[in-house]
Homo-oligomer: A and B are copies of this chain.
Amino acid sequence: MSVVVVGSVALDSIKTPFGERSDVLGGSATYFSYAASFFTDVKVVGVVGKDFPARHLQLLKKRGIDLAGIQTADGDTFRWSGYYEKDLNEAKTLDTRLNVFQTFKPVLPETYRDADAVFLANIDPDLQLEVLTQVRRPKLVAADTMNLWIATKKNRLTELLKRVDLMVLNEGEARQLTGEAGLVKAGRRIQAMGPDYVVIKKGEHGALLFCRKNVYPSPAYPLEDVFDPTGAGDTFAGGFIGYLNKMGNRLTDDVLHRALFHGTVMASFTVEDFSLDRLKKVKPADLLARFRALTRAVALKS
């Protein structure tokens, strides 16, 4: 079992009410792959610049993540800088420098093409579609998107949605994509656009999983200290899809529901420190402990 992820590998500069950091490891493919590596084999497709610190790639390699699909291009690595205000709900962007990402064309190494799952992080739908031409017979195609593509490339995104089994996006994107204020309606509308399964991420308020018939709401893992929410959504997707992949991409309600919990637990670590600083200290026993705690906290004793 293996999952290919295509997305950004970035250097983030972030300010929260609790501190700030410059040029720390970030990017959707980074968070996703690190989280998914707890469950399955992960192969990354992305690009970094000549300035990208080798120790960041080492960190991923140590988790057994396959980096054969990471190109190193002339120029600087993609950089994002932003800040959060007191409620931490919304990232405000200060600056986005695409740098080497601007001309990025994903190329899947031959060893990637038989992967049985693909996660298309929130890159340009043209690139997401391009990746789908390079994989042979994935059993599971999952994707994310963002406000920019909904606003500027709705047609291509609509095309993509028809080819996606599982769409993972946040509540603002779900509303923007469908024009529905209510999230249950929005999720059902997105399903009607193609994906059999949809997850709407709500940050500190948890997530909604839409299966064919049932809707499963899940709260976030309750934390006293949330430090920096950057990467939480991609970490969630990594835990979610990593677990699905481990389970043979068997998309039953029960497996998807468990995946929702694994994603939630995984994201709860990311927000406890900047970058991957908390996540990289996580051991399988920590995941299990929070998975059990969350299970107990939401289910009534029978």
Q: Which of A3-11, A91-99, A216-224 contacts B (4 or more CB under 8 A)?
A: A216-224
Residues of B with C-beta under 8 A to A218: 219, 298
Known A217-B206, A219-B218, A220-B217; judge A257-B300 contact (CB<8 A).
yes
Cα–Cα, bound, A291→B218 (Å): 16
B216 touches A297 (CB 8 A): yes
A298 touches B301 (CB 8 A): no
Q: Which of A104-112, A177-185, A274-282 contacts B (4 or more CB under 8 A)?
A: A177-185
Residues of B with C-beta under 8 A to A201: none
The chain B residue sitting closest to A208, CB to CB, is B222
A188 at the interface (CB under 8 A from B): yes
Chain A interface size, as a band, is: 35 or more
Residues of B with C-beta under 8 A to A223: 182, 184
Residues of B with C-beta under 8 A to A204: 183
Distance (whole angstroms) from the CB of A36 to the closest CB of chain B: 20
Distance (whole angstroms) from the CB of A149 to the closest CB of chain B: 22
Distance (whole angstroms) from the CB of A8 to the closest CB of chain B: 28
A299 touches B301 (CB 8 A): no
Cα–Cα, bound, A203→B97 (Å): 38
Known A206-B219, A219-B219; judge A226-B182 contact (CB<8 A).
yes
Distance (whole angstroms) from the CB of A221 to the closest CB of chain B: 8
Known A182-B225, A254-B301, A297-B215; judge A205-B202 contact (CB<8 A).
yes
Known A217-B298, A254-B301; judge A86-B222 contact (CB<8 A).
no
Cα–Cα, bound, A34→B287 (Å): 43
Known A298-B299, A299-B300; judge A215-B222 contact (CB<8 A).
yes
The chain B residue sitting closest to A202, CB to CB, is B205
A102 at the interface (CB under 8 A from B): no
A interface, CB within 8 angstroms of B: 17, 86-88, 181-185, 188, 202, 204-206, 208, 214-220, 222-226, 254, 257-258, 261, 295, 297-301
